[in-house]
Amino acid sequence: MTATSSRDDHYAGEPIAEHRSRLRATVDTILLNRLAVTGLIILLLLVIAAAIGPLVAPYGINEISIPDRLQGPSASHWFGTDDLGRDLFSRVIIGSRVSLMVGFIAVGIALLIGVPIGLASGFYGGAVDSWLMRLMDILFALPAILLAIAVLAVLGPGIGNAMIAIGIVYTPIFARITRGSVLTIKESVFVSAARSLGATDIRILRTHILPNVVAPITVQTSLSLAFAILAEAALSFLGLGVQPPDPAWGRMLAEGRGFFEQAPWMAIFPGLAIVITVMAFNFVGDGLRDALDPQQRSVIESRGQG
C-alpha cells in the first residue's frame, strides 16, 4: 500500500490499483442499484429452485391423475393442474432447470465461438476481418427466430439442438462487440509497448487485450441470457425445443393453448415464470452495464429479442 499511496499523491484521484478498485467500484455500483440487486436475488432463488427442485416440488412432474385434471389453483395445487391432472407448480419449478440450462449453454456456445472470431477480426484486420465479418453479417441478415427454426429444421427438434441453434443465432453479436472493443484497445500505448518488447500475438491478445474486453462481454452475456431464455421458450412453444413429457415453460404454454377457457392458469403461470426470469437477467444486465460500460448501447437490444 505504501508504494501506491506515494504515487496516489501525484495522480490525485486516479486509481492506481486499477484492477482491485475497478472491481470494488463495480460491485458497489451494482449493490447500490436496487433493480440489479432484486434481479440477483431472483436469479439466486431460481438457481436454488433448479438445483433442489425435486425436493421442494410437492408432486412428481409426470404424476398423472385424471380425476384431478384442470383444477384451478388451490391449497393442494398452488398453480392448479393441467389436462392430465399434473401439478403445475411442480412442473413450473422443474421447468426452471430447462430454461436456465438452455440459456447458459446456448450463450456459452455463442461466447466460445463469437469472442475468438471478434478477437481475430479486430486484432488482425484486413482480409481475416472482412471475411469473418461478412460471415457474421449473413447470420445477422436473418431474423433470429427464423435462423433458429432453419437450424432446427436441419438438426431436428430437441433441447440439445435448440441450444446449438440459439448459440449460433447469438454468435455474431459477441463477435461484433468483441471486435469493436479490440479495435479501440489495439491502438493503446500499452499494446505498442508490449509489441516493442517482443511479445507474441497470442500473448498480447491474452494478457493485454482480452482483460480489457471483458466488461462489454460481461454485460452482453447477461442480456443475452435473457434473450436466450425467451428464444428457448418460443422454440419450445413452437414444438421445436423441449419435447414432451419434459416440462419446459414454453412447452407448457403450448399445452395450455387448447384449454384457454377452462383452465387459464395453464397459460398464466408458466408465462409469469418466463417474465420474471427474463426480467431478472435484464435487471442484472442493465446494472452491470451502468457499472462497467455506461457508454455501450447494446447491439442485442437494438436487434430485439425474437
Where on the chain is the footprint of another protein (CB under 8 A)? Answer: 35, 134-135, 137-138, 141-146, 149-150, 152-154, 226, 230, 233-234, 237-240, 250, 253, 256-257, 260-261, 264, 267-268, 271, 274-276, 278-279, 282-283, 297, 301-306
Q: What is the dihedral of CA 164, 166, 172, 177, to 10 degrees?
A: -110
Q: In the complex with another protein, which residue's Cβ is closer, 42 or 194?
A: 42
Q: For the chain, what is the total number of helices (H) and then of strands (E)?
A: 13, 0
Taking each helix axis from N to C end, the angle separating 34-56 and 18-32, rounded to the nearest 10 degrees, works out to 80
CA–CA dist 244, 294 (Å, integer):
43
Q: In the complex with another protein, which residue's Cβ is closer, 209 or 241?
A: 241
Q: How far is the CB of 149 from another protein (least distance, A)?
A: 6
Q: How far is the CB of 256 from another protein (least distance, A)?
A: 8
Q: How far is the CB of 45 from another protein (least distance, A)?
A: 16
Q: How far is the CB of 297 from another protein (least distance, A)?
A: 8
CA–CA dist 35, 284 (Å, integer):
7
Q: How far is the CB of 215 from another protein (least distance, A)?
A: 19
Q: Is 241 helix (H, G, I), strand (E, B) or coil?
A: coil
Q: In the complex with another protein, which residue's Cβ is closer, 174 or 249?
A: 249
Q: How far is the CB of 67 from another protein (least distance, A)?
A: 26
* DSSP string computed for 137-185: HHHHTS-HHHHHHHHHHHH-SSHHHHHHHHHHHHHHHHHHHHHHHHHHH
Q: In the complex with another protein, which residue's Cβ is closer, 94 or 274?
A: 274
**How big is the CA angle at 237 (ends 173 and 229), to the nearest 5 degrees?**
35
Q: In the complex with another protein, which residue's Cβ is closer, 116 or 271?
A: 271
Q: In the complex with another protein, which residue's Cβ is closer, 36 or 61?
A: 36
Cell of 138: 449473413
Whose cell is 393453448? That residue is 257
Cell of 160: 440439445
Strand residue runs (E) in 116-226: none
Tell me how crowded residue 42 is: count the other CB atoms within 10 A of its CB: 17
